[in-house]
Amino acid sequence: MTDNPSDRRNRARAGETPSLEELRGIAARKSAQHGNDIDLNMPEAWLNQYSLSPMFYTSKAYFIFTLALSSVVAWGVACWFYQIYNGMGVTGLRPPIFWGLYIATFVFWVGLSHSGTIVSSLLRLTKANWRRPVLRGAEAMTAFSLMVAGIFPMIHVGRVWRLYYMFPLPNQRSLWPNYRSPLAWDMMAISVYLTASMIFLYTGLLPDIALARDLCPKGNWRKGYLTVLSLGWRGTHRQWHVYEKASTFLAVFVLLIAPSVHTIVSWDFAMSITPGWHTPLFGPYFVVGAIYSGVAGVITLMIILRYVFGLDQIIRIMHLYNLAKLELVMGVIWAYFYFVEFMTAWYAHNPVEFRIWEYEWERFPHLMIIMLGGTAVAIFLLSFHKVRTSPAWLLGITILINIGMYIERYLIVVPVLTHRDNAYTWTDYTPSFIEISVAAAAIAYFLLLYAVFSKLLPVVTVADIREGKIISGDVRIGNRELRVYADVEETL
Amino acid sequence: MSITVLGLFDKIEEPAAMVKPLEDISIHEKDMALISVAPYPDGTVFYDEDHSPLWAIAIICGIIGFIAACGLAGWTQWHINLNVGGKPTLSIPPVVIIAYEFTLAGAVLGTFFGMIYYAQLPDWNDLAYDQEISRSKIGVLVRCEDEATAVKIEEIMRAHNVVTIKRGRDDF
């Protein structure tokens, strides 16, 4: 007797009850498809070795990969220096187009940073037990994305040595930053977010750094900095107690900071009285787009970590499956926001905004198709269970989503400036080779930061995984063995 | 000077069963500490009596951040008196935005440094510890005042399948 879904439905309609063997078979298959949670019988020594192996074992391919990334970064830095020496004329920026690829890239990386801490904080606060292997990767992604994003305003301003005009320091004319400008808010918000994200990442790392310190072979060059960074952590009951309190508080604070940052980034645009930008929808639209892009980034990174470092026993299909469901929801919400924005401009027939839409389709039809088609394809494919449980499919879809989101940032910035109110100022903008090189180097820089991080500090949250093992167990309910987690009350 | 005995165990049940015999020889819970590579829920062995006011530190630092932001974004606008784009000399929305960010920045920094302080970090002194704890052994620190009690503690630990016993110094 077959037991495919349609047969089962027909037999259920006919009032037939599936046999015990059939139910066991279905449960086993589902379990295999999702990938069970982490094996509770995994030996402790093996868990340590397995989790810390990315730090201590380096292949030749790693060196080749980091060398290639370093070369791209070096090329990007050289291009930036060329731009500093020769001036902004080497970019494609011409009046009235003062914002181009650099600003689009800045918005993209700020957006990508969002999901890391939001996902991590939300999962911590809601005590979602599947969160544990995902946390470190997500938090590190936030910190590194922001480190990349933070460089772009410096590159964009041209005269980077005058960056201190943005700091609360009196400049040559004893002037301070103008806090009525959204750019000053942006500077403050991103600095605060970067500080909070680094602290959040470091706090989570603290017990794992101590673990790496203890397990680091004698004479290994890592021992020194691991000892310093671990701050003498021993894992006393008091330390864990304070640590858990602090983690919860930090999760709440970071969760409050993250949406405000991308809202402020959106206000860089929306606070100007420029058609196409001046809309109250921009704040939430940016935040949703950031989470959509960020969750895709987390999934991509998890799959890469899983394969590059062979962490398939820790980052299970179940974790990717759950993140993919979250991504599907965010995709639908983002599409809804995009539709609302389009609908109001189209039905009201605002001539300026409508012209921008027309221009986007005339000038960038290929980009529009990749962006909208990519999201439509992603939402369609993520609706299938088989796709959500396939790392190969997920890798392809999440990369496609982020290409689409990069394009979306570009299409927010450029068409509005090239086609502003006065038709006689309409012009075109094409990023120069220098701009493209710097933007490409940013991707390499992000990957390089991650690659270096993986060799210096634990990329897996070992303490969190262990905590999960402590408070969970496999229990037999009827004929099934199920994983249950104790609901441990927090003492704050 | 107090003596600290560190016992290493394989399973959490063993130190949990050891609390009562230790209390019987007048060792109070505040003189015991658990060391583990991952957190055990409070009360698994004993309850933590510490109620560090981390929330208060977060709030105080948040307030400091708020005041700093009002000074930075409010007072400087007032002081420089530069009218741009028809906005009033002192525009409130920018102050609110900067204040929001700085309040949270203060709260984050307060929480972090509060955690460092109450977790008694950093401390690179050679305190009672064993690297086997990172290999999932469970450490129990017991503090006492004299050698006779320390010997009794070691006997109780042996009766509860201790793997290793060490003497050391501690300041918990």
3-state secondary structure of A332: helix
**Three-state DSSP class for residue B33:** strand
Region for A274 from its dihedrals, namely left if φ exceeds 0, alpha if ψ lies in -120 to 50, beta otherwise: beta
Distance CA A235, CA A191 (A): 31
Sort A476 into a burial class: Cβ within 10 Å, 0-12 / 13-18 / 19+: exposed
Phi, psi of A481 (to 5 degrees): -105, 125
Q: Which residues pair with B164 in a beta bridge?
A: B8
Task: Enter the DSSP assignment of A217.
Answer: P
> Around A109, how many Cα atoms within 13 Å sit in the side-chain half-sphere?
27
Whether B87 contacts chain A with CB within 8 A: yes
- Of the residues A169, A242, A467, the best mutation for testing chain B's interface (the one with the most B CB atoms within 10 Å of its CB) is A242
DSSP string, A181-200: SHHHHHHHHHHHHHHHHHHH
The alpha-carbon gap from A9 to the nearest alpha carbon of chain B, in Å, equals 45
Q: In this complex, do B37 and A466 lie within 8 Å of one another by their Cβ atoms?
A: yes
Q: Which residues pair with A472 in a beta bridge?
A: A485
Show the CA angle centred on residue A439, arms to residues A433 and A441, nearest 5°. Answer: 100
Place of tokens 């999440």: A398
DSSP code at position A321:
H
Cα nearest neighbour of A466 on chain B:
B38
Scan for tokens 């002081």, then name that residue. B79
| Tens of pLDDT, residues B101-110 | 999 999 999 9
β-pairing, B32-35 vs B138-144, is antiparallel
Tokens read off for A282: 């921009």
Burial of B90 (0-12, 13-18, 19+ CB in 10 A): middle
Q: With an 8 Å Cβ cutoff, are A235 and B35 in contact?
A: yes
Residue A477 is given by DSSP the state E
Q: Given this model, what pLDDT does residue A492 score? A: 47
Round to whole Å and give the CA distance between A405 and A108. Answer: 7
* CB-based contact A232 B122, cutoff 8 Å: yes
Q: Is B58 on the interface with A (CB under 8 A)?
A: yes
- Contact flag A234-B37 (C-beta cutoff 8 Å): no
A 208-227 residues inside an 8 A Cβ radius of B: 210-211, 214-215, 227
The 3-state DSSP class for residue A249 equals: helix
Tell me the count of A-B CB pairs closer than 8 A. Answer: 183
Residue range A269-315, pLDDT digits in tens: 888 888 888 888 889 999 999 999 999 999 999 999 988 888 888 88
Alpha-carbon distance A315 to nearest alpha carbon in chain B (angstroms): 19
C-beta contacts of A317-321 below 8 A and 24+ residues apart: A317/A33, A317/A34, A317/A35, A317/A389, A317/A391, A318/A34, A318/A35, A318/A36, A318/A37, A318/A130, A319/A35, A319/A130, A319/A133, A319/A134, A320/A388, A320/A389, A320/A391, A320/A394, A321/A34, A321/A35, A321/A388, A321/A389
Q: How far is CA A342 from CA A46, B32, B37, in A?
A: 54, 65, 53
pLDDT at A217 (0 to 100): 84
Report d(CA A149, CA A200) in Å as an integer: 18
Q: SS3 for A490?
A: coil
Interchain CB contact of B144 with A (< 8 Å): no
Gap between the Cα atoms of B168 and B155, Å rounded: 17
- A242 vs B41, B54, B102: nearest CB: B54
Q: Which of A55, A249, A461 to substitute to test the interface with B, most B CBs within 10 Å?
A: A249
- Chain-centre distance for alpha carbon A106: 14
Q: Letter for the amino acid at A106?
A: F
Q: Does A273 touch chain B (CB under 8 A)?
A: no
The reply to whether omega before A96 is within 30° of 0 (cis) is yes
Query: Is there a contact between B128 and B4 (Cβ–Cβ < 8 Å)?
Result: yes
Residue of A nearest to B55 (CA): A249
Asked whether B8 and B137 are in contact (CB, 8 A), the reply is: yes
Q: Name the percent of chain B lying above pLDDT 70.
A: 97
Between CA A488 and CA A316 the distance in angstroms is 24
Q: Which of A229, A236, A243, A260 to mutate to test the interface with B (most CBs of B within 10 A)?
A: A236
Per-residue model confidence (pLDDT) at position A279: 85
Which parts of chain B have pLDDT scores under 70?
A: 1, 49-50, 171-172
User: Could you identify the residue written with the tokens 């590159």?
Assistant: A155
The structure tokens listed for B60 are 């105080």
Supply the pLDDT for residue A78. 97
Choose the closest CB to A253 out of B38, B104, B124: B104
Give the chain A residue nearest B95 (alpha carbons).
Answer: A179
Instruction: Please state, in angstroms and rounded to a whole number, the distance separating the CA atoms of residues B151 and A370.
Output: 75
Distant-in-sequence, close-in-space partners of A190: CB < 8 Å, separation ≥ 6: A110, A146, A149, A150, A261, A265
pLDDT digits (tens, 9 = 90+) for B61-92: 999 999 999 988 888 888 877 777 777 888 88
Q: Is B38–A233 a contact, with Cβ atoms under 8 angstroms apart? A: no
Radius of gyration of chain A (CA): 25
Judge contact between A200 and A117, C-beta under 8 A.
yes
Contact criterion met (CB below 8 Å) for A289 and A408:
yes
Integer Cα distance of A161 and A154 in angstroms:
9
Residue A12 CB contacts under 8 Å (≥ 6 apart), including other chains: A18
B77: contact with A, CB 8 A cutoff:
yes
* pLDDT at residue A144, as a whole number: 94
Using a CB–CB cutoff of 8 Å, tell me whether B83 touches chain A.
no
Give B74's DSSP letter: I
Distance from CA of A300 to the nearest CA of B (A): 28
Domains belonging to chain A, first-starting first, are 35-464 (1.20.1630.10)
Closest CA to B144 of B22, B17, B15: B22
* Shortest Cα distance, chain B CAs vs residue A239, angstroms: 5
- Give the C-alpha separation, B135 to A151, whole Å: 41
Closest alpha carbon within chain A to B171: A236
Classify residue A133 by its DSSP letter: G
Flag whether residue A447 sits within 8 Å of chain B, measured between CB atoms: no
**Using the 8-state DSSP alphabet, how is residue A162 labeled?**
G
At residue A180, the pLDDT reads 82
Amino acid of residue A247: S
pLDDT of residue A1: 46
Residues contacting A111, CB < 8 A, separation 6+? A262, A265, A286, A289, A290, A293, A294, A405, A409
DSSP A41: T
* Number of H-type helices and E-type strands within chain A: 19, 2
3-state helix, strand, coil in chain B (%, to 5): 50, 15, 35
Residues of A in contact with B116 (CB under 8 A): 231
How far apart, in whole angstroms, are the C-alpha atoms of residue A370 and residue A27? Answer: 39
Nearest CA in chain B to A190: B101
**pLDDT for res B45:** 85
Query: Which of A:352-411 have CB within 8 Å of B?
Result: none
pLDDT tens across the length of chain A (492 residues): 455 656 666 665 666 665 656 655 665 555 555 455 666 666 777 788 888 888 888 889 999 999 999 999 999 999 999 999 999 999 999 888 889 999 999 999 999 988 788 888 888 888 888 888 888 888 999 999 999 999 999 999 888 888 877 777 766 666 677 788 888 888 889 999 999 999 999 999 999 999 999 988 888 889 999 999 999 999 998 899 899 999 999 999 999 999 999 899 999 888 888 888 888 888 999 999 999 999 999 999 999 998 888 888 888 888 899 999 999 999 999 999 999 888 888 888 878 788 888 888 888 999 999 999 888 999 999 999 999 999 999 999 999 999 999 999 999 999 888 887 777 888 889 999 999 999 999 999 999 999 999 999 999 888 888 888 888 887 888 877 777 887 776 554
Token pair for residue B68?
A: 């700093």
**Which residue, among B7, B15, B33, has the nearest Cα to B171 in the 3D structure?**
B33
Helix axes A182-215, A44-56, angle to 10 degrees: 120
Q: Is A234 on the interface with B (CB under 8 A)?
A: yes
Interface of B with A in 98-117 (CB under 8 A): 98, 100-102, 104-105, 107-109, 111-112, 114-116
Contacts of B172 in chain A (CB under 8 A): 236, 238
